[in-house]
Amino acid sequence: MKMLFICALLIGLVMLPLGVMAEEGTLVEDETAGVNISEEIAIVETNTPNLAPMFGKVHQTLLMATEEAFGYLLTGDIAEKEAFFKELALSEEAMTAFEGAASGAMEDEQVIVTGFDEVKTSYANLTAAADTMFASFETEGKPVMDDVIAFEASVDGVFDTTDKVWDEYNVDGPATVDASVRSLYGRLLAAVQESYAYPVLGDVIEKEDALADFADFDTVIAQYEQKYPDASYDDIKAMKAEIQAAAEAMFASFEENGTADPADVAALETLVEEMNEKALKLFDTSSEETVVIEESSEIEETAVNATA
C-alpha cells in the first residue's frame, strides 16, 4: 500500500510541470492570436477609405471651377474658361473616386455619402447654368445679368449642401491638423469666389459676403490655433492676408472706374492659382492612415498583455 502511494506521488510530481507547460503554451497561443487579430484590424482600417478628404476634394475643385468661371467674365480671357472645364474634370474624377469608395463608408460617414448625392444633383444644375452664362456672354460681349444670377444661384445650391455636410460631420471641428488646414483652404476659396462675383454683378452684397468670409476665416483659424497649439498656421495666414489685400485693391478700382482694373484682377488671379496648387496637395491621406494603424495595434496589444 505504501509502495502504491509513493508511486502515485512520483507520477503526480512528473505530470505537474507538464500541465504548467501546457497552460503556458495556451497563453502564448492566445497572445499570438491577439496580436494577429490586432494586425488584421489594422489592415482592415488601412484599407477603409477616409471619405472626408475625398469629399473635400470634390468641394475644393468645384470652388476652384466657379472662381475660374467668374474670372472669365471679368477678363474675357478664353484661358479662364478652359481652366473652368479643367477644374470640372478634376471634380468629376474626384466624384468617381468617391463613388468607388462610398460602399465602404463607416457609420459616421453616412452623412457625407448622403450629402454627396445631393451635391451631384446640384452639380448638374451648375454645369448647365455655366454653359448658358458663357454662351450669352460670348454672344453679347458682356455678362448677361440674369444668366450670371442663375449661375450664382446654382453655385450657392452646391455649397449650401457642402457646408451642411461639414457642419453635421465635424460637430467638434476637424479631427486632425491636416483636416483643419484643408477646411481653411475651402473657406478662403469661398471668399475668393465672392470677391470675383462683386465686380461681375456690381452688387455690394457680394463684397460684403466676401469680407464676411475673410473675417470668418480669421475667427476659425484662431479656434484651430487653440485646439492644435503645436501646429503652425503661419503660411496660410500669410496667404490669406495677400489674397484679401489683392481682392480689396480690385474692389477699389472697380468702385472708382466702374470696371475692375485688369492688373488688379491678374494680381489676384496669380495668388489664387498659387493657393490652388498648394490646396490640391493636401488630399493625400496616407499619413493619417498610418496613425490609424499604430493606434489600432497599440490598443489590441495592450489588451492582450493586460490579460496575460
Q: Which residues contact 293 (CB under 8 A, 6 or more apart)?
A: 42, 45, 46
Mean of pLDDT over the chain: 80
> What does the angle CA 106 – CA 111 – CA 115 come to, to the nearest 5 degrees?
130
- Under the banding of pLDDT at 50, 70 and 90, the label for residue 15 is low
How many CA atoms, within 13 angstroms, populate the side-chain half-sphere of residue 20?
6
Question: What local confidence, expressed as pLDDT, does residue 308 receive?
Answer: 40
Question: What local confidence, expressed as pLDDT, does residue 171 receive?
Answer: 74
Q: Domain limits of the chain?
A: 1-47, 50-283
C-alpha cell at 43: 489592415
Q: Which residues contact 224 (CB under 8 A, 6 or more apart)?
A: 173, 174, 180, 184, 231, 233
pLDDT digits (tens, 9 = 90+) for 276-295: 888 888 876 544 443 333 33
Q: Please report, for residues 111, 114, 291, the alpha-carbon distance to residue 107 in angstroms, rounded to integers and kept in the order given.
A: 9, 12, 20
- Under the banding of pLDDT at 50, 70 and 90, the label for residue 271 is very high
pLDDT digits (tens, 9 = 90+) for 171-230: 777 888 988 998 899 889 889 989 999 999 999 999 999 999 999 999 999 999 999 999
Read off the pLDDT of each residue in 239-266 and give the average, rounded to a whole number.
Answer: 95
User: Whole-prediction pTM value?
Assistant: 0.73
DSSP string, 260-306: --HHHHHHHHHHHHHHHHHHHGGG--HHHHHHHHHHHHHHHHHHHHH
pLDDT digits (tens, 9 = 90+) for 82-109: 999 999 999 999 999 999 898 888 888 8
* 77, pLDDT greater than 60: yes
* Residue 275 · residue 185 · CB < 8 Å: yes
Q: How far does the chain reach from its first CA to its final CA, in angstroms?
A: 43
Q: Please report, for residues 73, 136, 148, 168, 234, the alpha-carbon distance to residue 225 in angstroms, rounded to integers and kept in the order given.
A: 37, 46, 38, 22, 10
